[in-house]
Structures are given as C-alpha cells and as structure tokens.
Structure 1
C-alpha cells in the first residue's frame, strides 16, 4: 500500500499549492519515497509560490489537501 502525505501551503498572494509525498509502507518489500510539487515552484525542501516567487515556510502551511480549497 502507498501512503500519501500532503503539506499544503497558502502564499500571502492567495496562491495555494502542496508538497505531495508518496511512500511504500508495506512490510517485507522494497522501501521507496517520491516527493513532488503541486502548483508550487522551487524544490521539495524550499517551496516557492509560482505566482509571486515568494519563499514559503512553515508559517504558510494550512490544513487539508489542495483540492479542499478549489
């Protein structure tokens, strides 16, 4: 089974995006992890707003998944 984790960010300009992490959580199988940005720029460890290019930090994290805000 794959475990999906979303860290959703909201920029001060109103842009919403997320860091989506998928990982294998099955015992006795090969471990793997994949992280991707959804509607964000920068990198997984230093996300940026795609609209205004502002850096996003922990103060920009909001609850839920990005689809909850559309």
Structure 2
C-alpha cells in the first residue's frame, strides 16, 4: 500500500528527498514543486516557517 501522508517526523519538517512528502505539502499549501522547493530554500525545512514564507509571498505585491 502506497503511503499518501508524510511520516510523523515530516509532520514538522519538509523532506524534499521524499516524493510522498513533496506531493503532500504541495497539495496542503496549494503550490507547485518549484514553489515548495523555493520556499524551503528560503525558509528552511520547518513546516511553520515554510507556511509563513508562502503566506508572506502571496500578500506581497508582484514586482516587474
């Protein structure tokens, strides 16, 4: 049976090396894999920090 949710540890940390985690968090945050990777690159692997980063990014005006 294929696992569709992250492990207990990845409920707090986003592991970009685990495809199931990447797919799960992309669905939860409604972002692409590239957007998730960018957020983790800037905010770190902690779920709360990635969520905060994505929320701030969505509220910032787009720059040309």
TM-score interval, smaller chain: under 0.3
Higher strand fraction (1 or 2): 1
Structure number with larger C-alpha Rg: 1
TM-score by length of 2: 0.26
Bigger relative contact order, structure 1 or 2 (CA pairs below 8 A, ≥6 apart): 1
